[in-house]
Every structure is written in structure tokens, then in C-alpha cells.
């Protein structure tokens, strides 16, 4: 069952503990109809990769949004695979990458993948 996803801020609040990236989880916004990692997305993934490399026992959580249609679920899966490939090339084993799919209910949010390194220091630590 997909969880409702109303707004980016709501999804960001679901991540605990907070990240060391200004307390807002990095996210990747893909181009409509594409699973190619955009340049800004590569930068966001690099932040997560560096944190995952610095905290070797931490898990990386990817929260992929979809509107629930088969085609968009498949597209979200390809987008997750693009991010996972970068993380794994950087040395993060697949066993440390968790994926969760959530329902997107706002325009454009179905193109987002939010990322979090779980077990990272919280804000203010």
C-alpha cells in the first residue's frame, strides 16, 4: 500500500533523524518522462554518498514518489535504480539501501526521489 504524499515538506518531515544537510533531506527532481539523473541530482546524490561513506553502518533510505499508475511506478523504479547505481559505484552495498514508495498527490511531485542517511547525526549534534 502506498502512503499518501501531499507536499515535499511533509515527506521531508517523515525522515528521522534529521540530516546533516541543513536538516532537509536531499532530493532529486527528475525531468518529466526521464530516469536520467540530472546534473543537480548528481550533486544531491554525491552529498548522500559522502555521508554514507563517512557512516559505514548507516542505511541510505530512498523515498520514491509515484502517482500509482503502472507506468509511473515503473518510471519511479528506474529513477531509484539510477540513484542506487551511483551509490553502489561509490561503495555503498545494496544491502544498505532501503527504498520506500509513496503516493504523490500534488502536481510534479511524482518526479521526486528523497534521500536520507539513517543513523547520521541529528541537527545540532
Nearest-10 Cα torsion for 114, 35, 7, 97: -20
Residue 63 belongs to a domain: yes
What pLDDT score was predicted for residue 23?
52
The answer for residues whose C-beta is within 8 angstroms of residue 26's C-beta and 6 or more apart is 19, 44, 45, 47, 48, 114, 115
Residue 80 belongs to a domain: yes
What pLDDT score was predicted for residue 1?
40
What pLDDT score was predicted for residue 85?
95
CATH of the domain at 17: 3.30.1330.60
Residue 29 belongs to a domain: yes
pTM for this model (two decimals)? 0.72
Q: Residue 35 sits in which domain range? A: 3-118
What pLDDT score was predicted for residue 24?
60
Residue 73 belongs to a domain: yes
Dist CA 94 CA 98 (whole Å):
8
Residue 123 belongs to a domain: no
Residue 124 belongs to a domain: no
What pLDDT score was predicted for residue 72?
83
Residue 59 belongs to a domain: yes
pLDDT in tens, the chain (125 residues): 443 332 233 233 333 334 444 556 788 888 888 899 999 889 989 988 998 898 888 889 888 887 778 888 888 889 999 999 999 999 999 999 998 888 776 555 556 777 777 765 444 44
Structural domain tally of the chain? Answer: 1
Amino acid at each position: 500500500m502506498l502512503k499518501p504524499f501531499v507536499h515535499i515538506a511533509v515527506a521531508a518531515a517523515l525522515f528521522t533523524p534529521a540530516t546533516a544537510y541543513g536538516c532537509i533531506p536531499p532530493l532529486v527532481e527528475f525531468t518529466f518522462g526521464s530516469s536520467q539523473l540530472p546534473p543537480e541530482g548528481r550533486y544531491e546524490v554525491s552529498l548522500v554518498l559522502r555521508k554514507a561513506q563517512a557512516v559505514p553502518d548507516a542505511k541510505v533510505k530512498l523515498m520514491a514518489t509515484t502517482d500509482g499508475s503502472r507506468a509511473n511506478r515503473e518510471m519511479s523504479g528506474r529513477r531509484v535504480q539510477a540513484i542506487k547505481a551511483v551509490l553502489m559505484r561509490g561503495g555503498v552495498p545494496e544491502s544498505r539501501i532501503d527504498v520506500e514508495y509513496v503516493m504523490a498527490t500534488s502536481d510534479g511531485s511524482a518526479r521526486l526521489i528523497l534521500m536520507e542517511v539513517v543513523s547520521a547525526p541529528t541537527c545540532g549534534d
